[in-house]
Amino acid sequence: MTHKELLDFIRNRMRMAHIYQPVMLRVLLESSGSATERQIAEAISSEDPSQVEYYEKITRDMVGRVLRKHELVERIKENRMYRLLGFENLKPVEIEELITACREKLDEYVERRGSDVIWGKERNYISGTVRYEVFKRAKFRCNLCGVAADKKALQVDHIKPRKWGGPDDISNFQALCYTCNATKRDQDDTDFRKVRASYSHREDGCPFCDPTEEKIIARNELALALVDEYPVTDKHHLVIPIRHAPNYFDLGSAEQNACTQLLVAMQKKLCEQDDSIAGFNVGINTGDAAGQTIPHCHIHLIPRRTGDVSDPTGGVRNVIPGMGDYRLASET
């Protein structure tokens, strides 16, 4: 791509629905022709650093794709970088002119659309204090999927969309990660805070609904880890959802994620405590026919050690006698 072609694209052929294209080109020009997705994302998100991951996705799936289509850049998958085609042939004065053209294009767009629209901010500004209270109320997790704020940036969502008359009031705000918020958009008025409230449901008489603190080994917002009172092996543990749910398939994705996170954490912890552990069985009994005796979902984390049985082949397949070794079963 020559200087003349680039300048013509920036000044005359660039069609903008957002500020991304000139920012990406400017970063590439200022970085000797190559930049990582993160560098581009940081430039785009300079007004809101918490959104870097979001803008990395924007760089990869939107602006990068558009500029590749115009044959202005190429993406190097190995290190997630972009390279401006023909940069090595540009003179310093030409680079400066192109950078200036990108800045002018941005200024034109801001003047035409307004800075609030550019950076995706609410027309009626939501203060940092209110944002903090909304996130704090949600325990810094998405009210829909449950992902933590340190894993994915949270946004303040209007439960009842503004276009439907929803007020700019904290009572109408909920915390959603950017993925859930983008999926919900402004076509839905579901209050996902109610979903989160359901996580506190308990069932009278259920031994897993109200365990004593001394039985709880680890916990997160939606799940607990307990020592199994009838262990199959030493250090046999259970991971259970806090909400009373009869089986794993009744759990929401946030609860399933929370249980998985605890399983991973407990597996690591047990291996650090006991170097004789050589493997694990992870199992869930669902329904009477599968041997479930307590109607509250619980996931078994069973440490295994070399030689603890004469032949461990097949692992969980041994719940059906004679079916452990599938190779032998297939021959019969």
Report the residue count for the chain: 332
Sheet with 216-219: list strands edge to edge.
216-219, 223-227, 237-241, 299-305, 277-284
Q: How many CB atoms lie within 10 A of CB 181?
A: 20
**Distance (Å, rounded) from C-alpha 266 to C-alpha 260?**
10
Kindly report the number of other CB atoms within 10 A of residue 22's CB atom: 24
Cβ count near 137 (within 10 Å)? 15
Strands 81-84 and 34-36: antiparallel
Q: Which residue bears the tokens 């940069």?
A: 87
300 catalytic residue (yes or no): no
Closest among 212, 239, 207 to 223, alpha carbons compared: 239
Q: Which of 158, 296, 298, 300 is catalytic?
A: 298
The 10 Å Cβ neighbour count of residue 102 is 24
List active site positions: 298
